[in-house]
Structure 1
Amino acid sequence: MSGSGRFVDGYLLYLLARASSVASAEFHQQVRAQGVSIAVWRVLASLKGTDQGLTVGELARSCLANQPAISKTVDKLVEQGLLERNADTDDRRRVWVRLTPAGEQRVDSLIARAMDHQTRLLDALGPKNADILKAALTQLIDRAP
C-alpha cells in the first residue's frame, strides 16, 4: 500500500461494513418507526418464503445473531402470535419456527418498505452495477465456510 490514504479506505471488510451501515440506516429508522426492533425484522424477514420454517439455529445464522438471543426473540413473537413452533416429526429435539398468518401480514408490510428502499439504493448504482454488486456479494457469501 502506498503512503497516501487511510488503510481502511481500501480495505474490503471495512468497505462492506460501512456500506451495510450506510445502506441500512434509513431503512432501520423506518422499521423502528413501525414499532419493530431490527432483531424482530430480521427474524420475520428470514422466515418469509420458507414453507416449513427454520430451526432456531438456522434462524440465528440467517439473522447474524447468537442462538440464545434469537430464542428470546422467538419466544416474544410466539407470545404475540406472529410465529409458531412445530416439533420435527422425525426428530423431536428439532423444532421448526415459522410465520403465522398474522406474522405473514406483519412482515409483508415491512418487506414492501424494504423493497422500496432497495430500489432507491440500486437505482443510484444503475442496473448493470447493481447486478454486478449482487453477483459479487453472493459469490463472496457462497465461498464462506
Structure 2
Amino acid sequence: MGAQAETTAAQASFVDDYLAALLARASHLISAEFHRIVQAGGFSVGEWRILATLTDSPGRSVGEIARVALNKQPTVTRMLDRMEARGYVERFAHASDRRVTLVRITAAGQDVVAGLLTLAKAHEARVLEPLGAGHAAELKTMLRRIIELNEAAD
C-alpha cells in the first residue's frame, strides 16, 4: 500500500475501512440496480439466485443451494416448491445416496433465466469496466479466495 493509501486508510472511519462493511456496501450498491431488473422479470431475488446457482450445475443439494444463494434452508425449500410447481426446477435422488435429494434447473427454467443471465453479465461488465480487465480479474480472484478461506472455517 502506498503512503497516500495508508494515510487515507488511517483517516477513514471504522466502517469506511472495515472489510465486512465495505463488501456489504459494495454488494448492495451493485446489486440494487440488477435486482430491480430481476423483479421486473417476475422473479424474487431469492428465485433469481437459485436459478443462477443451478444454471451451470447438473444438480445441487438444497443445503448447497441455500449456502450459495444466501438464504436459510427452509426458505429455499419453500422457493423450490413454488419453482418446481412452475416447472423451473426438478428434484431427483442422488445417484449413490438415495437419502440426498438434489435439484436441477429444467429446460423451461433455463429458458426463462437465459435473458436474465445475459443482462447480469452486461451489468457486471458495466460495473467492472472502470477497473480495467486486470484489476477486475484480480478482484474476483481475491473475493473467491476470501470465500474459500472462510467457508473452510465453517
TM over 0.5: yes
When normalised by structure 1's length, the TM-score is 0.93
The CA deviation at 1:124 is: 1.8
CA distance in 2, matches of 1:7, 1:123: 28
The CA deviation at 1:88 is: 2.1
CA distance in 1, matches of 2:100, 2:12: 51
User: Of 83, 93, 115, which residue of structure 2 is paired with 1:77?
Assistant: 83
CA distance in 2, matches of 1:78, 1:138: 30
Larger relative contact order (CA 8 Å, sep ≥ 6): 1
Residue identity opposite 1:137 in structure 2: L
Residue identity opposite 2:125 in structure 1: T
Unaligned runs of 5+ in 1: none
User: Of 39, 47, 61, which residue of structure 2 is paired with 1:55?
Assistant: 61
Cα deviations across residues 63-85 of structure 1 (Å, max 9, x unaligned)? 11110000000000000000111
Following TM superposition, where does structure 1 have runs of at least 4 consecutive aligned residues deviating by more than 4 angstroms? none
> Is 2:133 the counterpart of 1:127?
yes
Structure richer in helix, relative to its length: 2
The CA deviation at 1:92 is: 2.2
User: Of 20, 23, 36, which residue of structure 1 is paired with 2:30?
Assistant: 23
CA distance in 2, matches of 1:16, 1:88: 35
> Is 2:21 the counterpart of 1:10?
no
| Structure-to-structure mapping, 1:66-105, within 5 angstroms | 66-105=72-111
> Is 2:120 the counterpart of 1:114?
yes
CA distance in 1, matches of 2:95, 2:137: 40
Task: Calculate percent identity across the aligned residue pairs.
Answer: 42
CA distance in 2, matches of 1:110, 1:5: 37
When normalised by structure 2's length, the TM-score is 0.88
SS at match of 2:104: strand
